[in-house]
Structure 1
């Protein structure tokens, strides 16, 4: 499950719906959540419900980091971001920490590797959502074996990563997280009022959400898709329960 925009709710605003989303996600078998300090309150609004539900240590949390520092090689800003994230999530270790949108990745990837060795994080990766910008550098980093995870945009509409990035990830056994599998809900507008294809039930799909997700996660290189929602009913639809 992703949290971009959907989990950015201030503490003085109603947040009961997010608690319901978290509960439905957990009860339906969901275990992996993607957050970022750039998503405002997403870390808080995942961390607090997780603590209430008693599932903090059972979730696989993918976080992001966007840090440059005051000078080349300054890692103080990055360290503050990491400490803030762990506090908000009530964690002493992040499962996967990703360089957000490739920002300062030449310095950040080696730093994340150090944090991995120190036990602050389990895995490291990079993210992006704009194919023309990320295809070449991301492919290079994957092929060099520097990444445990890569997060990319992929959907039944946007298939560019099938050409180089997904094959490279499969060759290197790099885990792949997929953002925007619904193209920010635009795919549902395209099929509004249209019935599912007749073969959809044969592949286990009962609605368009499952159909679009099935396309993404059926690729052998894909580890997990992370659709975002504030609607508990949509969580149930996505997970098929």
Structure 2
């Protein structure tokens, strides 16, 4: 059965929201969770509902779509909507799935949603088999899965469409997403410190406000993740 893609609309123009709501209502594989004309309220909706997809206007007061997308990070897929074609390049620089120019045509919306569906199909094909102390992850194109012990993991690094799992003895490369890997890791043992890094808490050697050291390597500590990181390590300090 095809995955139902749960989505949210954030656009300061009510007529634009109405158009998207009408189009989404025609698509059986999309479910609209909420919509908002306010970027800050939209951010709270994203935190609350954790949608698969956000239709996000770029030009909005208080907080632009580009700024909001950087706060969201890679936690959800974004399709930008705007009346200004000159923002397309900037939109793709923050890893948007697609860019829709207003007035939005229904066939063009379908094309953009298909790109999101392909991303989810890719995640399904890289399914991870897990247990309490380990998981198996696909590491090559021959349907071969490798066992990864949780205690051996130092950190996981996202590089484009791949994730490199750094362990005590080796580096495992998998065609996967960092989000999918994070779902296989216990929250009390691992934490995301950057859009491209997840680290094992018990492998941290030292840290400051901008970097985390593990196994002699310094990893970046992103602004978005700093507060949650220090909150978690403070609960573990002596």
Normalized against structure 1, the TM-score is what?
Answer: 0.29
Q: Greater relative contact order: 1 or 2 (C-alpha under 8 angstroms, separation 6 or more)? A: 1
- Structure of higher CA gyration radius: 2
Question: Which structure shows the higher helix fraction?
Answer: 1
Alignment TM-score, normalising by the size of structure 2? 0.29
Q: Which has the higher strand share?
A: 2
